[in-house]
Amino acid sequence: MAAVLEASLATPFFSSKPHTTNFPSKFHTFPSKLTLRNTHRSSSAANASLSPSSPQDPNPNTQSNSDSTRDRQRTVRLAWEKLVRWSRSWRSKAKTDVLERTNKVVVLGGGSFGTAMAAHVAERKAQLEVMMLVRDPQVCFSINERHCNCKYFPDHRLPENVVATIDAKSALLGADYCLHAVPVQFSASFLESVAEYVDPGLPFISLSKGLELNTLRMMAQIIPQALRNPRQPFVALSGPSFALELMNKLPTAMVVASKDKKLANTVQQLLASSHLRISTSSDVTGVEIAGALKNVLAIAAGIVEGMNLGNNSMAALVSQGCSEIRWLATKMGAKPTTITGLSGTGDIMLTCFVNLSRNRTVGVRLGSGEKLENILNSMNQVAEGVSTAGAVIALAQKYNVKMPVLTAVARIIDNELTPKKAVFELKKYETSQYIIMSTSCFLTAACKTFVYQFFSPLCF
């Protein structure tokens, strides 16, 4: 057998000689199983007699397995220690002068996320003045007198250096940074009313996620235009983050995006803490589009949950929605890596799968049969996805992108389609797409076969 194999391997595969003697045919006689077994035993005995450790170790595989386990554990430990050393070195080189020279931060808006970020920044430095500009006098009173936001976080005590006011001039006077937490649909009118108090060099850190319904503008466009200052420093803050968990100081990771790399690094130093990791990005469009459209997708995910369509449907819908967001974002100039990263897929997963999401809650109630008007009237927070959904159809048409899932949400919100009918239509769409793709693949394969059959005699 060995001789036959050696002869076959010694002969080139593309040989001009016949291969009748190189490979065993059905007429060759192979050794029996008994012969092979005896040969294997004699070979093993010979190897054991030659091995010096065979008398002491009846099972040599045990020693080799333990050695390989120790080697693997050592490799993992060294890799982890290398990461820890790199992290410590990076932290030691990180600058802290940004926080030291910051004296005042203003937060525009007294909602849940604005309050959570105000508390977070205030805890970074006890001497830092964090002033919240709110419109509700009752919320203003509770923050200043009881040190809590009675509307959103009545059980969470705010730091002593968080104060509230309803006076825009005093809030913005002398501010080093501005956290913008006003809902997108009201941002332009609000900023226009306070533009005279805004310093031209005041960096705006946008916490708002969404698109303006009529103009399709993102916050990177709304803020400079409303303030009549195209050079107004702008940073977008986004990522998977619930206000409640931020208030409870649970580990969170977010992204700051700005065209100005130095400004992004500065805001990173201002906000990063032991429980909040901040990454930087230059892809403002990708971060904003993902943060806006994930709210619309969360409504769709809630509808699936409210209709009890199951986990299979949920996974199919969310994956399709992620693709639609990526298609549109890349057409608008975003980087695909942004959409698959923390501010994209990370934010989508949190908003679509967790009950704390108010956009998902709207979808659940829609899927359960409630009317949108009743749902919105019973909520004390703004679900940005409801307004943003109206912009989806316009964007899809503008950039020539097919977005069936997000378009279906927009039609449900406009009362043009029921959730049940939308599911039926999406099923038909997916089936038709499968037929088109299958036909296309068949025609492509047929063309390839024709070309091969036509040209192969000429080539060979």
Active-site residue numbers? 294
The 162-165 sheet, strands edge to edge? 162-165, 129-133, 104-108, 177-180, 204-206, 234-238, 252-257, 276-281
User: Containing H/E element for 204?
Assistant: strand 204-206
**Residue written as token pair 């039926």:** 424
Residue 57, number of CB atoms within 10 A of its CB:
11
Name every residue whose Cβ is closer than 8 Å to that of residue 196 and which is 6 or more positions away in sequence.
none
The amino acid at residue 306 is G
What is the spatial distance between Cα 235 and Cα 259, in angstroms, rounded to a whole number? 8
Dihedral sign for Cα 7, 11, 17, 23, please.
Answer: positive
**Residue written as token pair 């940074």:** 177
**Residue written as token pair 């400004």:** 263
Name every residue whose Cβ is closer than 8 Å to that of residue 414 and which is 6 or more positions away in sequence.
390
What is the spatial distance between Cα 361 and Cα 347, in angstroms, rounded to a whole number? 16
Going by C-alpha positions, the residue among 346, 318, 343 that lies closest to residue 329 is 343
Going by C-alpha positions, the residue among 106, 349, 117 that lies closest to residue 243 is 117
Name every residue whose Cβ is closer than 8 Å to that of residue 436 and which is 6 or more positions away in sequence.
none
Centroid of chain to Cα 340? 6
Phi-psi region at 305: left, alpha or beta (left = phi > 0; alpha = psi -120 to 50): alpha
Q: Are 125 and 102 in contact (CB under 8 A)?
A: yes
User: Token pair of 27, please?
Assistant: 């007429």
SS3 282: coil
Q: Are 388 and 217 in contact (CB under 8 A)?
A: no
User: Token pair of 95, please?
Assistant: 């600058």
**Residue written as token pair 């068949």:** 442
